[in-house]
Amino acid sequence: MFSLNEFPLPFNSVALEPYISQETIDFHHGKHLATYIKNLNDLYQGTQYENLPLNDIIIQTAKDDSAKKIFNNAAQVYNHNFFFHCLSNEKFPIPSEITEAFESAENFYSQFKSVATSIFGSGWAWLVQEKDGTLKIISTANADTPIAHNLKPILTIDVWEHSYYLDYQNRRADYIDTVLKNLINWEFVKENLQK
Ligand code: MN
C-alpha cells in the first residue's frame, strides 16, 4: 500500500506564490495526487503487481493491456512526485549541459515551451536523456511517462489543466513560461543529469 506520506511536497505549499498559488498546490498534492494513490491501492491489491516498488509496477503494467488502469494511476503518482521535485522558489543556474545541448538557455526555454503548449488535452512535457546521453524534449499524453519507454526523466512540467487552471485559466503558455523562468529547481535537474 502506498501513502501520501511517502510523497511529501519538497517545499511549503505557499512557497511558489505568486506564480503558483497555495490553493493550486494544496489541491494538486492533497487531492489529485492523493486520489491517484488511493486508486492505485484499490486497483493493484490482489494482482501480481501488489507490493512491487512503484517504478516496477509502471514498467511491468506498461506491457500489460489488461492493467491499463493500474498503469495510469501508478504513472501519475510517479509523474507528480517527480514534478513537485522539479519546482522550487530558490534560484539556481540552469545547468551548462542543457545550455550546451540546446545552444542557449533561451533556445531551451522556447523549445520546451513549444512542446508543452502543443500538447492536445492532458499530458506532460519532459526533458529526457536517452541511453547514449542525448538530451531531448518530448511530451507524453495523459499518464504516460518516460520510464515506460526506457528514457531517463530529467525535468517535467505537468500540463494537465488542474495544474494551472485556478491561477491561469486558459493561459497555458503563460503558466509554462512562468514555471520555466521562475520555479525550476535546477539543482534537482542537475542531480538527475549526473545520475
Ligand atoms: Mn497534475
CATH hierarchy code of domain 96-194: 3.55.40.20
The rounded Å distance from CA 143 to ligand 1 centre is 9
- Contacts of residue 195, defined as CB under 8 A and 6 or more positions apart, other chains included, come to 152
pLDDT at residue 173 tops 90: yes
pLDDT digits (tens, 9 = 90+) for 13-49: 999 999 999 999 999 999 999 999 999 999 999 999 9
The confidence score (pLDDT) of residue 195 equals 86
Q: What is the mean pLDDT of the chain?
A: 97
The rounded Å distance from CA 160 to ligand 1 centre is 6
Which of 144, 166, 167 lies closest to 156, judged by CA? 144
The rounded Å distance from CA 103 to ligand 1 centre is 30
What ranges do the domains of the chain cover?
21-85, 96-194
pTM for this entry: 0.97
The rounded Å distance from CA 28 to ligand 1 centre is 6
CA distance 97 to 178: 22
* Domain 21-85: which CATH number of 3.90.1150.10, 1.10.3720.10, 2.60.40.1930, 1.10.287.990: 1.10.287.990
The rounded Å distance from CA 167 to ligand 1 centre is 14
Please tell me the number of Cα atoms within 13 Å of 149 on its side-chain side.
14
pLDDT digits (tens, 9 = 90+) for 105-138: 999 999 999 999 999 999 999 999 999 999 999 9
